[in-house]
Structure 1
Amino acid sequence: MKKHIQQYAELVVQVGTALKQGQNLLIQTGVGTFDFAREIARAAYRRGAGFVDIRVVDNELLKARLELADEQTLDYVPPAVIADSYQQLAEDWARIRIDSTEELDVLKGVDSAKLGRVTRANRSALSVHRDAMMRHKHQWLVIAAPGPRWAQKVFGGPEVGVDPRLDEERTEKLWSQMVKILRLDTPDPVATWQDLAKTLKTRAKSLDEMKLDYLHFTGPGTDLKVALTETSVWAGGPSKTPEGTVFEPNLPTEEVFTTPDFRRTSGRVACTRPVKVMESLVLGAWFEFKDGKVVDFGADQGKDVLEKYLTVDEGAGYLGEVALVDASSPIYQSGLLFNSILYDENASCHIALGAGYPFCLSNAHDLNSPAQLKEAGCNVSLVHTDFMIGSPEVDVTGVSKNGEEHAVIRQGSFVL
C-alpha cells in the first residue's frame, strides 16, 4: 500500500495541481490526514516546489469555539488570515484541501445558528480569494485520504477504537477501493487520467452542440427543470488558468458540469445520497424551486442545518451548478456510499446551491462584478454545496431552445 500512497501523492501534484517549478503550495488538512499531507509535501518538493505550507483545519477546535466562546466573537476573522490570502493570490500559490472525512460527526449537534455565523464571516472575509479560485485564476484541488474513522463510516461495524485490528483492516479496504477509483492500478495513472479527460471533454462538447435551454430531471420524487443561460458552456476534466496551466480541481472527477441560469429553476427534486452541509451530515433532503429559488425543503436528518445554510445569504437558495455523471463511474460501480461530497458527487448527477462558476460562461472575461454576474444569470453567494440527485431511476432529458428533446441519461447511463 505504501507504493500506492506515494503514487497518489505524485498524481495529486502532477495531475491535480500541475505544480510549477518554484511555485508555493498550501495544503489544508485535518488532524487525521496530516500524514498524507506530508506525503504530498514531499512529492511537491521533488517536483520543485518553492515552499510548502501545511495548515491544520481542526473541527474539534471549531466545536470548542462554538460551544465555549463568547457569542459576540463568532464573527471575528483575524486580519492576518485575510492579509495572508491576498499574499497567496499575489504570489500565485497553488492550493490543496484534503476533505475532513476523519471528522464527519464532530460537529453533529452543535448550534447550527452559531455555525452559520462563523461560516458566513469566514466566507465573507475571504471572498476575493474564493472568487479568484472559482474563476480558476490559480490551481486548486480537493482530494480525500483514507483513515479509520472514514473507513468505519463507509463499511460500518464497531466504532473506531473498539477493535484496533478491525480499524486497520477497514482502512486498508478503503485504500483498496480508492486505488481502483483513482486508477492507481493502471500501468500509467497519469496517462489514464489524460484519457479520461478526453472522454469528459467529448461529452461536454456534445452537450454544448445541443444548444440546450434546460435539463429535465425525472424520477422518484423528482420533476426538476434546470435552465441554462445563453452563454452557459459545459466543462469536464481539467481546467486551465489564464496563464495556461492545466490542472484538475477535483481528484477523482467523473462529471461534466455547467453554470445554470439561477433565475429559472423550477420543480421538485429528491436528493439520492447524504451530503455534508456546513460540516454536518444531512440525510434525505428534498427541495422545491419556483422562479429559481428554494421555496420549500425538508430532510430526514439535518433540516435545521439546511435552514441555516439557506439563510447564509440570498444566493444560498439558488442554483450555481448542474452536473451530469453516469453509472460508468467507478465510484458508482463500487456500490459504496462514501459520505463525502467529493466522492459521492462523482457517483451521481448533482446540483449545487450557492455560487456559480463564472468560467462556465463564454463571456466570463466581461463579468467583473457581482451585479454583472447576476445579470448574466450566474448566481452569487458566499457558499457552494453539491446535492446528489441522480440514480438509475432518474432520467435526464435536454430540451433545446427550439423545443427539440435530446435523451442525455437513461437508466443511469449516458446516451449522447
Structure 2
Amino acid sequence: MLITPSEDSILNREKRLALRVVSEYYDFSSTKSVEILCSYENNDFAKILMELLVKSGVRNIFITYTNGIMCEEINNGYRKYLDDRISFYKERISEEFIRITILSPFPLPVVITDEISEYQKHLSELSFLNDYLIESPRIMIVKPNQLWARKLGLTLEELWDKVDSFYDSLDSYDSIKEKLNNYQINKIHFKSDEGTDCIFELTPNFKWIGKKISWNGHTFQANAPSLEIFTAPKKFSGEGKIVFTKPLCYHGKIINDMEIQLHNGKVIDNKNLDSIISLDSNLSYIGEVALCPYKEGFYYSTILDENSGCHIALGNAYPYGIENKNLINQCPYHIDLVFGSDSLAVDGIKEDGSVIPIMRDGKLCTL
C-alpha cells in the first residue's frame, strides 16, 4: 500500500506525540501496568504508543475503547461487561497502573441501547476507580482527527499545526508559578470589561500548580498540552459574577452565552447552565481557579480551550498543593469554563491587604 506525503507527515506527527508522552510526561521506567483509554478510531495511534511503552520497560499494557468494541461487548450483556470491568480495574490497581487517555473531539458516536443505558446507570460501582485515579499519576493528551478538522473547517495537517502550537509553546510559567507561591496571597480577584467581577479566598498554605504535578511521590503532566497555573479555592468563598467568554462543548452539545452569580461560594443564579449544574449538588460550587494568557479561538476541546484563557471549574477540586482537603469541593464532575479575555485583570490579595498585579489585558504580568 502506497503512503502519500500527507499521510507520511501525519504518521510522523503521531510518532512525535507518542514519543513526547513516553519521554516527557512521566517516567515509565519502573511502571508495571498502563491502560490506554481511547476511541476505536485512535487504535493505530494507541499501538504506536504501546510500542514505545514496551521499549520503556512497561510489562502490561491494555487498550480500553470508549466506543466500537466496547459497545458490542456491553450489548452482549451489560452486567457481565460491568463485572469484568470491576475485576479488571481491581487487578490493575493492585499493579499501580497508569492511565493514558487519548482525547479526540467528535469520535464515532455511541448508540444508546437498553444495555448501554443500564450500564451507564450502574457506573457508580466503579467509583473506586475514580478515587484511585485522583490519587495517582494520569495523563490526558489531545490528538487531532479528521472529523474534528472538518468541524473546524481545516485540513488534518492544518489542525495538527494548531494543536502542535499548543504543545510547542515556550513559556516562563514555572518561574511565574514560583514567584506567585512566594507571594503567599490568600485571595484572588478577577475583573473584565465583559462583566466578570469575582473574588475567591484560597486555602491556607496552598501552592499554585503548573504543567508538572508532584503528588504521592510521582511527577507527571496530567493534561497535555498544559499552559495553565491553577489551584482549588475554598469551597464556600466565591463572591461575585463571572461572564464566560468561550462556549462549552459538553458531550457533543455546545452551550453559549453563560454566566454565574456566586455567594458564599455557591452558584445562586446562572445563565444557560441549568442542565450542567443540575447533574450534581456540588456542581454549584467551584473546584478550580486557573490562570492562563488569553488567545482567540474555540476548538471544541476542553484541554485546548482551557489553555487559551483564565477559567474556573464547576465541581471537583484536585487536591494538588492543598494542605487541608476538607476545605475544597468534592464532586463526581469537573467542568471547565473559560472567562478569559483581552480585557481581563487579575489581582492577588495578601493577608495584609496589599495587592499583587498578576494579569493585565489578558496577559501575565512580569512579577
Normalising by structure 1, what TM-score?
A: 0.76
Structure 2 distance, partners of 1:272, 1:8, is 30
Relative distance call for 1:119 and 1:320 in structure 2 (3 A) is farther
Q: Are 1:88 and 2:92 matched, yes or no? A: yes
Deviation of the 1:98 alpha carbon: 1.3
Residues 389 and 49 of structure 1: CA distance in aligned 2, closer, same or farther (over 3 Å) = same
Which residue number in structure 1 is paired with residue 289 of structure 2?
322
Q: Distance in 2 between matches of 1:203 and 1:121?
A: 44
Match of 1:398 among 315, 323, 348: 348
- In 1, distance between residues paired with 2:263 and 2:68? 35
Unpaired runs of 5+ residues, structure 2, are 1-8
Aligned residue for 1:166? none
Match of 1:313 in 2: 280
**In 1, are the aligned partners of 2:35 and 2:63 still within 8 Å (CA)?**
yes
1:150 to 139, 148, 151: 148
**1:254 correspondence with 2:258:** no
2:137 maps to what in 1? 139
> Is the 8 Å Cα contact of residues 314 and 335 (structure 2) preserved in structure 1?
yes
Paired residue secondary structure (1:96): strand
The reply on whether 1:343 has 2:341 as its aligned counterpart is no
Answer yes or no: is 1:221 the counterpart of 2:195.
yes
TM-score by length of 2: 0.86
Residue 179 of structure 1, CA deviation: 2.8
The amino acid that maps onto 2:279 is V
Kept in 2, the 8 Å contact 1:216–1:398? The answer is yes
Q: Which residue of 133, 136, 161 corresponds with 1:176?
A: 161
Q: How many Å apart are 1:307 and its aligned residue?
A: 2.7
* Greater Cα offset, 38-47 or 251-260: 38-47
Alignment check: 8 A CA contact 2:208 2:321 kept: yes
Q: Is contact 2:40–2:69 with CA below 8 Å preserved after alignment?
A: no
Residue 182 (structure 1) shift: 1.8
Cα 1:81–1:60 shift into 2, 3 Å: closer
- The offset of 1:77, in angstroms, is 8.2
Q: Secondary structure at the match of 2:327?
A: coil
Distance in 2, Cα, partners of 1:20 & 1:99: 24
- Deviation (angstroms), 1:260: 0.6
Structure 1 contact 212–398 (Cα < 8 Å) conserved: yes
Q: Is the 8 A contact 2:35 2:97 kept in 1?
A: yes
Q: Which amino acid aligns with 1:153?
A: K
2:270, 2:304 → 1: CA distance?
A: 24
User: What is the CA deviation profile of residues 212-243 of structure 1, one whole-angstrom value per residue up to 9, with x for unaligned ones?
Assistant: 22211111121111221113221102123423
Instruction: Tell which deviates more after alignment, 353-362 or 126-135.
Output: 126-135
Residue of structure 1 aligned with 2:257, choices 272, 284, 287: 284
Deviation (angstroms), 1:40? 1.2
Given candidates 215, 233, 239, the residue that maps to 2:213 is 239
Please state if 1:35 is matched with 2:35. Answer: no
Provide the aligned C-alpha RMSD in A. Answer: 2.9
Distance 1:280 1:74, change over 3 A: farther
Report the CA distance shift for 1:25/1:394 in structure 2 as closer, same or farther (over 3 A).
same
Deviation readout 1:184-215 (Å, 9 max, x if unpaired): xxxxxxxxx8x85xx33322222222222221
1:95-174 counterparts in 2 under 5 A?
95-103=99-107, 106=109, 121-122=122-123, 124-135=124-135, 138-155=136-153, 170-174=155-159
Cα displacement (A) at 1:74:
9.8
Given residue 385 of structure 1, which amino acid in structure 2 is its aligned partner? Answer: I
Aligned residues: 350
Quote the sequence identity (%): 24
| C-alpha displacement of 1:388 | 0.8
Q: Is this contact kept in 1: 2:35–2:62, CA < 8 A?
A: yes
Aligned to 2:4: none
Greater Cα offset, 78-87 or 33-42: 78-87
| 1:319 CA drift (Å) | 0.7
The answer on whether the counterparts of 2:213 and 2:320 sit within 8 Å (CA) in structure 1 is no
- Deviation at residue 381 of structure 1 after TM alignment: 0.7
Shift of 1:145: 1.1
Whether 1:52 and 2:61 are equivalent positions in the alignment is: yes
2: CA distance between counterparts of 1:177 and 1:82?
A: 38
Ranges in structure 1 where 5+ consecutive residues have no aligned partner: 157-169, 184-192, 300-305, 364-372
Change (3 A) 1:397 1:118: farther
Write the mapping of 1:373-384 to structure 2, written as runs, cut at 5 A.
373=325, 376-384=326-334
User: What displacement does 1:78 show?
Assistant: 1.8
Verify the 8 A CA contact 2:243 2:259 in the aligned structure 1: yes
In structure 2, do the counterparts of structure 1 residues 74 and 93 end up closer, same or farther at CA, with 3 Å as the change threshold? Answer: closer
The 4+ residue runs of structure 1 with deviation greater than 3 A are 59-62, 73-77, 117-121
Checking the alignment, whether the CA contact within 8 Å between 1:27 and 1:53 is kept in structure 2 is: yes
